[in-house]
Chain A
Amino acid sequence: MLIAFECALFLSTLASTIVLRAQGQERVKAASFRIGVVADEEPKEGLTHVTDLLVHLGYPYDLVRAGGQGFEPSMYSLLIIYESGLHNLGENPTSTILTLAEEGANLLWIGPGVGQVDQETLARVFGLNFTSQAFAESYRVAYASSSSSNAKVFRETVTNVELAGAKAEGYFLDSSFRRVCPSETYFRHEGGGIGFFFAYDVSSWWNVDLELPWYRPARLVSAIRLALSSTTVATLRPYPRNLASAFICRIEDVDPLHTNVEWLSRASRYVQAHAARNVPLSVALIPVHVNPRDGIEIRLSSDSAQPVRDWLYNVIRSRGAIIQHGYTHQHGSQQTGVGTEFLVDGEWMSYDDQTKRISAGKEEIERALGTTALAFEAPHYKLNDNTLRAIERLGFKYLLDDPDSPFYGFRFSDADDPSLVAVPETLGYIPLGSSPGLEDKLKKIVDQLIEFQGILLLYNHLYDDEAFTIGVRTMEHALRKGNIWTPNINEMGGFALERAKAYRRFSVTYNSEITVTLGSCTVKGLTLSVNSQEKISWVKVNGKDWPVFNVDFVILPELPDASNTVLIGFKEQPSLQSLSALWGLSLLGVTSCMAFRFAKKAFGVD
């Protein structure tokens, strides 16, 4: 009888614990978080840079256009405004801007044209007085300066403004480093939002200043973060598992003639130095070396290329990847490595000819190494739309390119899915006979790129021992920063493509909870970063509890559905209240009684 009672009590305790955990919860209404970009429809470099930046940093955004989707200012947490897009703000853009500010909107003005806004509105929204607008040289402007960095200003239009309540975040300097006028300003307007102003086109002229190639994207990212600092924000981070940046080292222009003992020895040591730190190499491989003048043609599969093949196997074993770098990396009578391949004397090769050459190269790599190259790099980065069509048709997924941007770029298929991801080079290369000064410069650029989550891609021909040393030290410097992802090009490209699929349905709504919608993603580790006053307390992915989060980020599992919902809560969730100590102690007591009785019997204790 007693045993039956104990059993019943035990079972009821168990059932209660499960039932308590299964209680439902109340949902709340939510508002949305999006960025609106007010710009002309005509594609321009600056606009492409801004949209690439927003995609890379994982901000949901719309291009705001008159006559397109209904323009609802209240739906945007931040509006990025270009002069070219003013007509999208209605017949009286000045009045729209003022209304937006009064409603508490955050506004970021980029470049010239602010003179079209009347002085009173300008003062109330951006805390500025417009003086004039002209080419930089007419004001003797040579640099834009902020955060103790001076970056070059080129032959571009700048705006001369006076502060009327705004705080200068940077100044234009003349060639003697004397201040001329503010280059960027920050103002909290009466609506409570922020008005940020760039007096030059911060979205153009990227990667032109050789000393500080990424100063402008860094400033733009900093301005966006500042403008959104008091807003609840959820972004989709560019790298998996909350990693801050990604480092890739590409070995450039390797061909079947790279059999020189000195080069192979250096290259082997380079692989070892990287493998020891779990950093794989990605090798830009030219499958066939030709020198038409001497009648030389050496294929990767030929016997003489065995030492190169052995080194490539070593790279692959160390988690490395192969990038197909053209077919012969030359045209006409040039030797491999000298000229472009698809651009011959100013004329682009036809689609068929490009396809034939790339296909032949791909087959050669497969024959020689037994591996399929998924990444492609055009010789001297010279490619056109035919090249892109050809590589897509041949199954390449990742493109190494020099788009003057530190962010991923995407090409979309007819079905509007991301089909090709472009990974930019951001750290340049190490030339023959480099001085140690290059190392310091590279380290500075690494620091700046990490600050705004840019991609770290260094390429190295391993010309000499100095190139070896600078390459290894730059890699070590990047890793010392911590939280750096070290993928090969296939790993990075694969993640970027999957993330892009998830991003295409990315939307954020919030109130007391944040609801994020994402498309499908077959890789684990997508990370949502949350900027909120409160700490994350619980997370549900597609209705199920998910534990991998910290105070301000969530690392997601695979997202199997076409549309996935991530619910992020900041307050204790009623359904997840832990069981009270009373339940635990009851269970403890009941189990102890039963177990002790049974154990005494088993051991023959009276």
Chain B
Amino acid sequence: MRKKEFPRNLILCSALAFFFSYLEYYYVALDGIPYREMYQVGFLRTPPYVLFPLAPALAVVAFSPLLDDLMLRRFDWSEKNRTLVLACANFLWALTLYDTLYYVFRSMFPLPTDPLGGVWIRREEASIMGVVNLLGVLWPTWYFATLPIVISVYVAYYIS
């Protein structure tokens, strides 16, 4: 991924994550109750619409530079590896941001009809990995796996 392309892709992924979170919390609702709260089923206790189409849509955007390279038949394998790693990091970042923003909207700008309005993530809502209590605030455990990966990749990219 070229130097200019990386921040552009990162911003695009972040914007899309924001948009999807906003859309999900405020508009994917059943009579004012967010769908995510009433439909607690799905693979890995993840809402089905996250598995498809939201996560694939984020993946397409995150991996677009790689797809771009493939389509333009750029065959620099070293560059392609770098692009792939950065795309993975952007994808993980977008997923984490998307999930976090959902709870930010809920806790700070709740729907008036949401029974969990004003409430940060609950233990029962966490994915199969559960939550970590850090300084009195609950955080999904999977954030502790994705964020270090994302930050490590960005730091390595920066110092390279």
Contacts and interface: CB of A to CB of B under 8 A. Distances in A.
Contacts of A578: 123, 130-133, 138
A524 B148 CA distance: 39
A241 interface: yes
A525 B35 CA distance: 11
Nearest to A604: B160
B85 A603 contact: yes
A525 B31 CA distance: 10
Nearest to B159: A605
B115 A595 contact: no
A24 B8 CA distance: 48
Interface string A408-426: 0000000000000000000
A539 B115 CA distance: 14
B68 interface: no
Report the contact-size class of chain A (Cβ under 8 Å from the partner): 35 or more
Interface stretch (A188-196, A220-228, A309-317, A544-552): A544-552
Interface stretch (B9-17, B20-28, B54-62, B150-158): B150-158
A550 B115 CA distance: 6
B38 A524 contact: yes
Contacts of A14: 129
B82 A602 contact: yes
B67 to A, nearest CB: 19
A83 B82 CA distance: 86
B151 A592 contact: yes
Contacts of B38: 524-525, 548, 555, 557
B135 interface: yes
Interface in B126-142: 128-135, 138-139, 141
A548 B155 CA distance: 39
Name which of B33, B39, B115 has the most chain A CB atoms within 10 A of its CB.
B115
Contacts of B153: 595, 599, 602
Interface in B31-88: 31-33, 37-40, 78, 81-82, 85
Contacts of B113: 241, 483
A581 B132 contact: yes
A600 B141 CA distance: 25
A600 B145 contact: no
B82 A547 contact: no
Interface in A479-527: 482-483, 485, 524-525
A538 to B, nearest CB: 7
Complex A-B, nearest 3 residue pairs according to Cβ-Cβ distance, in ascending order? A584-B132, A599-B156, A603-B160
Interface of A: 14, 17-18, 20-21, 240-242, 482-483, 485, 524-525, 538-539, 544-550, 553, 555, 557, 576, 578-581, 583-585, 587-589, 591-592, 595-596, 598-600, 602-605
Interface of B: 30-33, 37-40, 78, 81-82, 85, 112-113, 115-116, 119, 122-125, 128-135, 138-139, 141, 144-145, 147-149, 151-153, 155-157, 159-160
14 contacts: A17-B141, A18-B128, A241-B31, A241-B32, A241-B33, A525-B31, A547-B124, A550-B115, A578-B138, A584-B134, A584-B139, A588-B144, A591-B148, A595-B148
